[in-house]
Amino acid sequence: MLKLGHDLLELHLAKRGTGKEDYHGEIPYHSDKDWNYISIFGDVNIDRAYFWEEGLGKGDYPLNGDLNLPERHHSYVFQKWSEMIAVDGAFDKAREVLYEILGINVWSKQMEEINREAGENVDDFYKANPTQEQKEPILVVEVDCKGVVIKKEGKAENKVRLKKGEKPNKKKMATVTAVFGTERNVRKVEDIVKEEAGNEEGEKDNSLHLIKLETKDEPRPQNKYVRATLKGKDVAFERVAEEVEQRDPDKSRERVALMDGESALEKKTVKYLP
């Protein structure tokens, strides 16, 4: 299948030409230049017409816009898959998975750069796709903090023993937030908690009392918006406040804030979400 996809892609690119005939700009033609395009089907060479004139600085490749080619050599689909796999683990493991599936060998450093560049566009993405006013009666905000181990550049020095008060890993606190809407879920006590007692043979065991939550008909979160940042709690809450304002501009929704007992989070909630 990969071979078939590769052949069809080459055929499509050959039909598109170099872009020279379709260019109607004022910059004169300079030359054709090869460009290596790394698709999910493998490497493909693309001949692109280059238009350039002395004194104008940067030239123009019309085919770039016609084919929506990425700035780096990896296709957008390959970059997306790289991000989806790498986000859950180490870059070395992610590159092994991609190589096993696609037969494409990519450096761990390249995968790291792809994911970092994707992160730079997150704010612009959300600004271009603002959340609409929600229909659900309850607006929920969740906030939590998690320590993230920060990897230092360069080779770490071997230490025989840590100094007093020194921790083995230097962590930075990430603030994770979620905003979503939900329907009301009116229930009776027996709908929420069910006591079970007894062993597998059905014999009664008074020492065993298990609580089982019934969630079969429980409403699910709608339009859940999840963000995480290492820039501090204020940045996280500013984003949450902006999202809440978009969802509930007239403050007609019932608002619920969920978090642990950290006093700093409670104070920020009162400050940004009065």
For residue range 86-127, list pLDDT tens digits in order. Answer: 888 888 999 999 999 999 998 888 888 988 888 888 888 777
> What average pLDDT does this structure show over 167-184?
86
> What average pLDDT does this structure show over 261-268?
92
Q: Which of 252, 13, 6 is nearest to 133 (CA)?
A: 252
Q: Quick one: pLDDT at residue 199?
A: 44
CA-to-CA separations, 140 to 187, 256, 258, 261, in angstroms, rounded: 19, 5, 7, 17
Q: Quick one: pLDDT at residue 185?
A: 85
Helix axes 263-272, 233-247, angle to 10 degrees: 40
Q: Quick one: pLDDT at residue 264?
A: 93
Mean pLDDT of the chain: 84
> What average pLDDT does this structure show over 185-209?
57
> What average pLDDT does this structure show over 200-228?
65
Statement: the pTM of the whole predicted model exceeds 0.75: no
Q: Quick one: pLDDT at residue 186?
A: 82
**pLDDT above 90 covers what percent of the chain?**
52
Domains in the chain (CATH in brackets) are 2-69 (no CATH), 77-120 (no CATH), 133-152+167-184+219-274 (3.30.420), 185-218 (no CATH)
Higher pLDDT, 215 or 123: 123
Measured distance CA(1)–CA(118) in Å, rounded? 29
Question: Taking phi first (over 0 means left), then psi (-120 to 50 degrees means alpha), and beta for anything else, what does residue 202 get?
Answer: left
> What average pLDDT does this structure show over 10-31?
90
Q: Quick one: pLDDT at residue 56?
A: 75
Let me know: does 37 contact 45? Beta carbons within 8 Å.
yes
Q: Quick one: pLDDT at residue 143?
A: 96
